[in-house]
Amino acid sequence: MKKSNKITALLLCAALLLPLIAGCANVGNESKVIGLFMPSKNEPRWIQDSDSLMRQLQNKEYRVEPRNAEDDVELQIRQIEEMIEKGCDILVIAAIDSTQLQATLQRAADKKITVIAYDRLIMDSPHVDYYVTFDNFEVGRLQGEYLEKALDLPNSNGPFHIEVFAGSPTDNNAIFFYDGAMSVLGPYLDSGKLIVKSGQVERVEVATQDWLPSLAKERMAGLLNTYYQNGTELHAILSPNDAVAMGIIETLKDFGFDGDEKPFPLITGQDSDIANIRAILAGEQAMTVFKDTRTLADRTFRMIDDILLNKSAETNDSKTYHNNLKIVPTYICKPVMVDAENYKRTLIDSGYYEMADIMD
């Protein structure tokens, strides 16, 4: 072969090989399948969680199979079991009912599929390999601390009237939120500085099944009609999240609260939903908690990557989250208190929202 022909042949070979070499980092990734199960689209956070996680996993060219079960427990179980049948490597599950997945996870274990509980711990199964979440006790503590400070409980005599709402009994997180808030408010309830006129304070009696705003709305109306009709002021409402807070606010508006002549009680929340940031700016809600879903997604992504590379996944807690059968190795992310004073710093400057999203 002539020298010039040899060079042409070499260049041709290189040109053919180049795409293979360039794609090397991801070779084989697309054969790894990750099932991603979110509970619903009713609350914006689950959409944000899913979007962030999808973005990261697809960048690495993993095949992601996202499913959303619209808060239907049976549908979520079916979706997970179909995925197990089809074949996948990792299941990432934000459970609708954390107590209903034992049989399903047994099937996953039989097929050697790794299970990551996402945000909500899956209970009563030995087959939960990892958990990635926020510090759920801290979420409640931030809510309690906000009320403590806003009412100046350490220094004032009170008494102040408060009503208490909790999250869904199907969600292990709800226990942590409630316990965290009560770790601050409990002593003031005991001393009588805080009074619950309805007397309803135990978590089971103040729970909001499936986190439904409509149920919170209904319960709030009952409370106002029964206990706050004679001009008795209601100073604060412990609401476990933004969706429940929205239900409560709707009722308060129906009862004439307007943030002006009739100021709203101090209402807590969690998730930093746009509607609730607007409510905070309008003086309807006092605070929320920011749980940066980008961080949670990033931690989950790193876990997945490590597991698929046969490395041990990074966790930072091995004592807090017991699912009744075992302590699940967990990566815990940090929640942040948000109110009218710091929302720009926490939500806008961090690029989580644009100012226009909130002002629209």
Contact set with ligand BGC (CB under 6 A): 43, 45, 119-120, 171, 173, 211, 241, 270-271, 291
Q: Which is nearer to ligand BGC, 63 or 67 (CB)?
A: 67
CB of 173 to ligand BGC, least distance (A): 4
- Cβ-contact 321, 131 below 8 angstroms: yes
Q: Find the residue with minimal CB distance to ligand BGC.
A: 241
Report CA Rg, the chain. 24
The values of phi and psi at residue 19, to 5°, are -60, -35
Q: Which is nearer to ligand BGC, 43 or 145 (CB)?
A: 43
Cβ distance to ligand BGC smaller for residue 62 or 130: 130
Given the complex with ligand BGC, which of 271 and 292 has the nearer CB atom?
271
Beta strands in 119-219 (DSSP E): 130-134, 160-164, 194-195
Q: Is the CB of 46 or the CB of 160 nearer to ligand BGC?
A: 46
The amino acid at residue 18 is L
Who contacts 118 (Cβ-Cβ below 8 Å, separation ≥6)?
Answer: 37, 49, 92, 93, 94, 132, 133, 296, 300
CA distances in angstroms from 336 to 112, 224, 227, 320, 324, listed in the order given:
37, 31, 33, 20, 29
- Smallest gap from residue 40 Cβ to ligand BGC (A): 7
Closest separation between CB of residue 241 and ligand BGC, Å? 4
Tell the smallest beta-carbon distance from residue 187 to ligand BGC (Å).
26
Residue 83 to residues 80, 89, 148, Cα–Cα distance (Å): 5, 10, 47
Closest CA to 268 of 295, 298, 297, 248: 248
Tell the smallest beta-carbon distance from residue 27 to ligand BGC (Å).
37
